[in-house]
Amino acid sequence: MTRARSTRTTEGRVFTVTGGDWDEMLSEAGFDGGTGRLVDEGFSGTGPDAGASGDEEFAGDGGDDRIIINMGPQHPSTHGVLRLILELEGETVVRARSVIGYLHTGIEKSCEFRTWTQGVTFVTRADYLSPAFNETVYCMTVERLLGLQVPARAEVIRVLLMELTRISSHLVALATGGMELGALTAMTAGFREREEALHLMEYLTGLRMNMAFVRPGGVAQDLPDGALEHIRGFIDVMDSRLPEYDALLTGQPIWKRRMVGVGVLPLEGCMQLGITGPILRSAGLAWDLRKTMPYCGYETYDFDVPVATEADCYARFRLRLEEIHQSLRIMRQTVDRLAEPGPVMVDDPKVAWPAQLSIGGDGMGNSLEYIRRIMGQSMESLIHHFKLVTEGFSVPPGQAYVAIENPRGELGAHLVSGGGTRPLRVHLRDPGFVNLQAMPAMAEGSLIADVVAAVASIDPVMGGVDR
């Protein structure tokens, strides 16, 4: 459970994040955690559960009429299973806590019991709205430990998949944010466009989500025939439909009243809390790892980093919308580069698993053609394939950290190798986990309805937060 507050000092405004638990928060507010005085959202403080007097039931140390309510983990504004505990005076949030852990899957620990290649199928399921980023940052870290240089075509394919995923993720943020603020048409439009992105992802990789398509040394296989035409078609569809969002939301007065000046987190707060991504850029700092610390050849692409200065929910909405346009701009450039053929996996039979892979129709298993070829070549080829699949390749001892820019901010992977075929430690620096610290700083002092908008603007994905 985390809480963030700001204080004024001689050196300026200082933001502090503290932890705690439910019983501590109750005792601080003057309540007894064992008496059942916790109320659910919407409870009025009257009725049989409130005792003789609702005011007496919730009287704090200072005699203030305060109640503590739960928001979630079932509440739609929590983007999954996030629990918010709010202490209220009327409808004003006095204190806020975020409780996580309900979606903990043990992904990082599970990777220690799998080969380096099998780890891809685990990390891709962490932030389930950004699978291509999870796969890429994990494989880039493995490649750094191995000292591998990925073929240029493989890097272009990685960039293509990441930007397509960025568009898909931002569309979910806009759609769910619209749903939570009452703009249901924004939800239907956002998920309609996301389906277009997922259809293209399925055509390119075989799966809509959790593709496990990026592998150490490159990607699983080359793009299918007709891929460039499908990519151009997707770009044309998005170009024709994105103006609807401006007409529907950007200038809509109700939408602006719900978001302008709400959930403000200034630049100094972002810096002190380690916030990255659209939240940081909405406060005026153009920090995007694709520009500041380029990887995968991003320094060779022509695109802009949108920045705002208002540092509120509305600025974050506009930034995500503009970032979709910039991702489409990058995708157009990848189409031109993919016109030239080339290898998509390193030329190292000890690492390139499976070598000369041909994937089946489900996008995961080996095709029958590939199985017939590998079994019909020689006994040595079959043994080599069997050892690569079952034992995996060895990685020299050491540790490495690689960071990339995912839709929510800086996504990092820290891998530790003991020299074997399995990692000793896998840790993901998920930006959703770090950015969620900003929720109390955005919410305290605002109304309950503004908490919903603030959480939506953070865009937390609990699969990445809990891992």
How far are the Cα atoms of 92, 288, 321, 399, 424 from residue 427, in angstroms, in the given order?
38, 21, 30, 11, 10
Mean pLDDT in consecutive groups of 10 residues from the start of the chain, 467 residues: 62 65 55 42 36 35 69 62 86 87 89 91 90 94 93 94 94 86 83 92 90 90 90 93 82 85 88 91 92 93 93 91 94 93 85 59 61 69 76 90 94 93 93 90 87 88 87
5, 441 Cβ separation under 8 angstroms? yes
Please tell me the predicted confidence (pLDDT) of residue 188.
87
454, 446 Cβ separation under 8 angstroms? yes
Backbone angles phi, psi at 440, to 5 degrees: -60, -40
SS3 assignment for 308-348? CCCCCHHHHHHHHHHHHHHHHHHHHHHHHHCCCCCCCECCC
133, 127 Cβ separation under 8 angstroms? yes
Copy the structure tokens of residue 108: 């990082």
Please tell me the predicted confidence (pLDDT) of residue 289.
94
**Fold of domain 107-353+392-429:** Cytochrome-c3 Hydrogenase; chain B (1.10.645)
- pLDDT digit string, tens, across residues 98-139: 888 888 889 999 999 999 988 999 999 988 899 999 999 999
pTM for this entry? 0.83
Amino acid at 450: D
- pLDDT digit string, tens, across residues 361-391: 555 556 666 667 666 666 776 777 777 778 8
Please tell me the predicted confidence (pLDDT) of residue 171.
92
Residues forming CATH 1.10.645.10 domain(s) in the chain: 107-353+392-429
